[in-house]
């Protein structure tokens, strides 16, 4: 395993070359660069394992196979619940659409109320779809070994953050910057 100190600024070309030279030759170039930022190791430290390596913050233990499996299971479970929510919301919207055509004698307040309900259901369905996309993206990142790496700065996100929010793609500082915009 390779370890190093975390930096927030960009590294000089010499430091990047040193990090690449010190990394294992079988590691992808992107992981070799991150090796100077955080500890990288095979999940479960199984020799010859085909499981991708995941970046962790300095001072954190490497991801274990059990931890990765628990996160994958949680994401998949959340996605199953979200699919059910989307399906329910779509049925509700369809029912509200049918009802909106039946009201020959409805007044404006009834029509407005139905429109509000329909928009709320559509908003819930769209939110659930977005979370499904985020879940699929997290599963893809688990599969390709980029899980745990901030998509903005390339630093480690941190195990505690990922255990609390497994779909997170940004570290806390980058997420804070995004929310301030």
Per-residue pLDDT band at 37 (split at 50, 70, 90): very low
Cα torsion for 170, 55, 165, 122, to the nearest 10°? Answer: 60
Residue pLDDT, tens place only, 119-147 = 888 898 899 999 999 999 999 999 999 99
The pLDDT of residue 45 is 43
- Residue 39 bridge partners (DSSP): 56
The answer, as to whether pTM is greater than 0.75, is no
pLDDT band at 97 (very low <50, low <70, confident <90, very high): confident
Three-point CA angle 174, 170, 178, nearest 5°:
40
Alpha helices for the chain (secondary structure H):
13-22, 29-34, 65-102, 108-144, 159-164, 172-180
SS3 138: helix
């Amino acid at each position: 395993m390779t370890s190093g100190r975390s930096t927030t600024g960009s590294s000089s070309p010499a430091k990047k070359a040193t990090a690449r030279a010190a990394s294992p030759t079988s590691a992808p170039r992107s992981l070799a660069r991150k090796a100077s930022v955080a500890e990288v190791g095979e999940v479960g430290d199984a020799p010859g394992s085909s499981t991708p390596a995941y970046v962790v913050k300095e001072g954190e233990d490497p991801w274990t196979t059990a931890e990765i499996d628990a996160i994958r299971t949680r994401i998949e479970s959340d996605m199953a619940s979200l699919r059910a929510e989307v399906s329910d919301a779509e049925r509700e919207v369809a029912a509200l659409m049918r009802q909106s055509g039946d009201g020959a004698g409805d007044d404006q307040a009834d029509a407005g109320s139905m429109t509000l309900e329909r928009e709320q259901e559509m908003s819930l369905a769209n939110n659930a779809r977005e979370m499904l996309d985020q879940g699929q993206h997290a599963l893809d990142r688990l599969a390709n070994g980029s899980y745990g790496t901030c998509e903005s700065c390339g630093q480690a996100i941190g195990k505690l953050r990922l255990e609390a929010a497994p779909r997170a793609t940004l570290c806390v500082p980058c997420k804070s910057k995004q929310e301030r915009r």
